[in-house]
Amino acid sequence: MVSEPGMAALVMFAGASNAFAATAGSMRAALASEPAIPNIFAPSSTPADSIYHLSVFVLSVCAAIFIVVFSLIVYALIRFRRRADDDGSEPPQIYGSNQVELAWTVIPVLIIVVLFLASARVIHAVEDAEMPAGTTEVVAIGHQFWWEFRYPQQGFVTANELHVPVSDPQHPTPTHITLMSADTDHSFWVPKLAGKVDLIPNRVNNMWIDPHDTGVYVGQCAQYCGTQHAKMLLRVVVDSPQDYEKWLANEKQPPQLDAVANGRRIFESTACVNCHTVAGTNAHGTFGPDLTHLMSRATIAAGAADNTKENLRLWIKSPDAIKPGCLMPAMQLTEPEIDAVTAYLLTLH
């Protein structure tokens, strides 16, 4: 029987999970409509695959230990339960048994050694893998609360949505990622592609991925980094070789700056340029995301909102409406100025 307060708790729990489902639903509607579920049990890249197999092994060993220990407990509970004819005297007291003590020391040590060796093998295989020629190099820099991605081989910078080529296991074309931080600790985690690697100020970390299937892989900052840590989302777009080349070619171009001279003038004469870069203009700021090809991204503000005209307008008017506590100030533009700047941003393909 569930007691009254117990019932209430159950009802509340059901309510909370409904509310959660509803939020998750609207989140999905708000974000671009890809299947956005990070999952460590569906790896799609060699490092994630190695981690997955190791996890299954470790979990099986733990499950076996659980079953043995739990069965012994249940056995002891039943076999030595209090009986009606119990006379209340102490059971026999047994001190010291070399066999038993050896067994419960040696067996656990062996189990630990096996788990240690299995983990060491996977760590070595992932961390010391040789990168083939033709590896894509990316530098990822964690910022409060967004990601900067530099492509040093190509000479451009983008933000929040990392594009990489798909990697055929027969002819691997992996991506090597150098991880750094501009401010505090962050952690790069896309569960289907690789394990977590931290981005630490004054330290350079490394990781690599070789996604086997095209598509969008989601992840997020996995190290608490401040107010908007939870909205420091991460998308890895795995492109076919043709799509990747197309994307690269576009990113390397300066944007087509056409009819929206008014919005551009406002953008370039406002503090926007102190924080943002638009290639080929006087905007060279690096405090915020590079906006050169803003419209080639599906989301803004590190996945916090879809990249639509309405959201862009809202963002410029009041970044806090989308990401409270983020490090872009509301610039106090007039309504017509906001319209003009939004129109300008919409041309940055």
* Site residues, Cu ion (CB under 5 A): 186, 221, 225, 232
Q: Which does 331 bind (CB under 5 to 8 A by kind): Cu ion, ligand HEC, none?
A: ligand HEC
CB under 6 A: which stretch of 115-123, 169-177, 248-256, 269-277 binds ligand HEC? 269-277
Q: Which does 221 bind (CB under 5 to 8 A by kind): ligand HEC, Cu ion, none?
A: Cu ion
**Burial class of residue 292 (count of CB atoms within 10 Å of its CB; 0-12, 13-18, 19+):** buried
313 binds ligand HEC (CB under 6 A): no
Q: Which does 225 bind (CB under 5 to 8 A by kind): Cu ion, ligand HEC, none?
A: Cu ion
Which string of x and - marks every residue 96-135 that binds ligand HEC (by CB under 6 A)? Answer: ----------------------------------------
Q: Which does 186 bind (CB under 5 to 8 A by kind): Cu ion, ligand HEC, none?
A: Cu ion
State the DSSP code for 300.
E
329 binds ligand HEC (CB under 6 A): yes
Closest CA to 188 of 229, 140, 127: 140
CA distance 105 to 64: 17
CB under 6 A: which stretch of 133-141, 167-175, 248-256, 294-302 binds ligand HEC? 294-302
- Give min distance, CB of 192 to Cu ion, in A: 19
Which string of x and - marks every residue 185-224 that binds ligand HEC (by CB under 6 A)? Answer: ----------------------------------------
* Contact by Cβ (8 Å): 144, 134: no
Residue 333 in tokens? 């533009």
Q: Which does 146 bind (CB under 5 to 8 A by kind): ligand HEC, Cu ion, none?
A: ligand HEC
Identify which of residues 54 and 298 has a Cβ nearer to ligand HEC in the complex. 298
**Burial class of residue 192 (count of CB atoms within 10 Å of its CB; 0-12, 13-18, 19+):** buried
The values of phi and psi at residue 47, to 5°, are: -60, -45
CA distance 217 to 227: 24
Identify which of residues 165 and 289 has a Cβ nearer to ligand HEC in the complex. 289
- Provide DSSP, 185-229: -EEEE-TTT---EEE-TT--EEEEE--SS-EEEEEEE-S--STTG
Taking CA atoms, 7 is separated from 14, 15, 16, in Å, by: 11, 12, 14
Identify which of residues 166 and 322 has a Cβ nearer to Cu ion in the complex. 322
CA distance 145 to 322: 12
316 binds ligand HEC (CB under 6 A): yes
Give the residues lining the site for ligand HEC (CB under 6 A): 145-146, 159-160, 228, 267, 270-272, 274-276, 287-289, 291, 294, 297, 300-302, 312, 315-316, 323, 326-329, 331, 333, 341, 345
